[in-house]
Chains A and B, each alone.
Chain A
Amino acid sequence: MTQPNLPVDVLERAVLALPQDELSDARSVALQRFKQRGFPTLSDEDWKYSDLSNVIDISRRSLEAAVAGRPADRAWIRGLLASIDAAWLVIANGELLEDLSTALEEDDIEVSGLQPDTGARDLDDPLSDLNLALLREGVSLCIAADRMAARPVGLLIVDSANGAHAASQVRVDIRLEPQAAARFVEYHASSGDGEHYSNTFINFVAGAGSRAEYLRFQDRALHHSQTARLNLHLDRDSSIRHCGIDLGGGFVRNDLKIDLRGPGAAASFDGLYVAAEGQHVDNHTRVDHRVGPTRSEQEYRGVLSGRSRAVWNGKAIVHKGADGTDARQANHNLLLSERAEIDAKPELEIYADEVKCAHGTTVGELDEQALFYLRSRGIGLARARRILTRAFAATVVDKAPVEELHESISHAVEQKLRAFDSGARP
């Protein structure tokens, strides 16, 4: 199978058209690397289920058209901001909207442009190279040592796509200095009837003893595409609780990479994906236990209906000498349609001696015994199905970080699931 590619001349012209600034050198290095490797293809092990053809096509057309970014729909963005109390950084169609970014006024958060030296770090995949090569501006934010950010820090990553094909690159570096504590909300949304591809790369360094909660909530338009990567580096005794929730998007690929590099570091990361007809949601996670003792725990759950497809690939690598590692992973899928498809793959690579590792994967329909139990209590079959489907999803939402958002998240999940209730049975 041949995959379209981004013509080199189109790409080079686009990079040259970007302003000459302190990121220029980093961009051209990233461009050279991307030119050598190109987009991943279905023959790459990590991409065998997710076909980037459409993403490549949108990228090419967007670069060829070379239209300036459209003005963002501010009324719509204000509406999104109003739904969550946070100190916001608003990135619309790849540009930071300073007037809507309330985080700029917050004392606890230092915001600056992306630094060229740190910006070029950790680019270990072609999409991150592409991201930097085409990046107009990036953002760095830092929570100083020992500070505790009172309000959640919000990253609103929104795109309006009207008419023309458009692609946007978003890059954020986050640094928690030693003993700092903060909570983050990464909220993706999009609107407009044009085709759109958003490519986000967030690099997060958690200093010694820092604590973080991180909720990623993605509710893009059902015909839009996104790839999003979050690389987390955890120093000694730092901890993070992460949860990624995907309700929207037509083609969605999330990469979460966690580097437990200091003893005592701990990460829990959960996920929920709810996909309906035509949606493709791929979650790849990778955790590296470089030293011991370190702890990781993940549980991803998916509810799939119609002709939807999901991928979960969870890799845990326990490096040589990382004794005292505790790594757990679980993935559970509820298939409400015979045409829905899930590819679930846990991967454990263990090179240390004293470790505790566990993994479990399930794919199935609603539990018949639980259905009968509810029916035997007078609850009708259709309602019993609804209750159990919601309960399946609720176990992830109920333990998600940034607790004050549980209600909004539950509400959004409910809206999405409601469409399944009346929907045709397989």
Chain B
Amino acid sequence: MLEIKNLSASIGDTQILDDLSLTVKAGEVHAIMGPNGSGKSTLAQVIAGHEDYRVTAGSIDYRGHDLLALDPEERAREGIFLGFQYPVEIPGVNNAYLLKAAVNAKRVHHGLAEIDAFEFLQAAREKMALLGMDPKFLNRGVNEGFSGGEKKRNEILQMAMLEPDLAILDETDSGLDIDALKAVAKGVNAARSPDRAIVLVTHYQRLLDYVEPDFVHVLSGGRIARSGDKSLALELEAKGYEWVREAANA
């Protein structure tokens, strides 16, 4: 589904990603771990199409197409979802309005009719119940005054409504208490499917207790320093990131 080859990217004059390669197939769950500044979030933002990042070398192939040629909105309509590390507050834009506009943008792109208002509400309420969200959140401004946990649940709600083919969740677990973490994990597990790929970008191993990844990659200095199965995450937890850095430099 996603094939990243020898990708280098910078922001301003600072190079962040350095010759990174990664392949993700449908049905797989990948965890990307690494210390602060290793390039995890940059990778997520580059895949979603953030224009502050400049790709200086390499390619990203998404289902046979050159992903880098697409605008962020086209990527979303083609099935890519980025769960933000810091979801943006947008006062004055109703949460339900955004959800519906997002769902319809994708439907229209694929030649489908816009979603029926009743059907939309029903689906939204159902997914909110799964995530333990009060339906009142639908009528609030997007992320406006939401707590950290509420914002992350809201990201998962958007993912659930949009049914992406490739979901990248950027530190969706950071700053969550145990209840919110479990709710988010429940949402992610419910999204697992043979047709869908999920990439979890995370600093800690904690989320992986609840969502079991098929692959774990450790980023260091803008490239993948080590890959393995879920046991790598546990090893990392025990030995710390210094261990990877030393191993990479050795």
Contacts and interface: CB of A to CB of B under 8 A. Distances in A.
Our verdict on whether A and B bind, yes or no, reads: yes
Interface of A: 367-370, 372-381, 383-384, 387-388, 390-395, 398
Contact of A378 (B84, B90, B106): B106
Interface of B: 48-52, 71-73, 75-77, 81-82, 84, 87-88, 90-93, 98, 101-102, 105-106, 109, 141, 158, 162
A379 B88 contact: no
A365 to B, nearest CB: 14
Contacts of A384: 73
Q: Which of B77, B82, B92, B109 counts the most A-chain CB atoms under 10 A from its CB?
A: B92
A373 B88 contact: yes
A369 B65 CA distance: 26
A116 to B, nearest CB: 47
Contact of A372 (B50, B81, B106, B109): B50
Q: Which of B77, B88, B98 counts the most A-chain CB atoms under 10 A from its CB?
A: B88
Contacts of A398: 92
B231 to A, nearest CB: 33
A375 B93 contact: no
A388 B51 contact: no
A380 B90 contact: no
Q: Looking at chain A's contact residues, is the secondary structure mostly helix, strand, loop, or mixed?
A: helix
Contact of B73 (A368, A381, A388): A381
B92 A378 contact: no
Contacts of A375: 49, 71-73, 76
B51 to A, nearest CB: 7
B76 to A, nearest CB: 4
Contacts of A394: 92
28 contacts: A370-B88, A372-B50, A372-B72, A373-B84, A373-B88, A373-B90, A374-B90, A376-B72, A376-B75, A376-B76, A376-B82, A376-B84, A377-B76, A377-B98, A377-B105, A377-B162, A378-B105, A378-B162, A380-B73, A381-B71, A383-B101, A388-B90, A390-B92, A391-B91, A391-B92, A391-B93, A393-B92, A395-B92
Contacts of B102: 377-379
Contact of B90 (A376, A381, A383, A391): A391
B68 to A, nearest CB: 15
Given A372-B51, A373-B88, A378 B76 contact: yes
A369 B88 contact: yes
Contacts of B75: 376
Q: Which of B48, B71, B93, B106 counts the most A-chain CB atoms under 10 A from its CB?
A: B93
Contacts of B88: 367, 369-370, 373
B215 to A, nearest CB: 24
A377 B158 contact: yes
Contacts of B101: 377, 379, 383, 387
A395 B101 CA distance: 20
B82 A378 contact: no
Contacts of A387: 93, 101
A383 B52 CA distance: 20
Contacts of A377: 76, 98, 101-102, 105, 158, 162
Contact of A373 (B87, B91, B109): B87
B218 to A, nearest CB: 26
A137 to B, nearest CB: 42
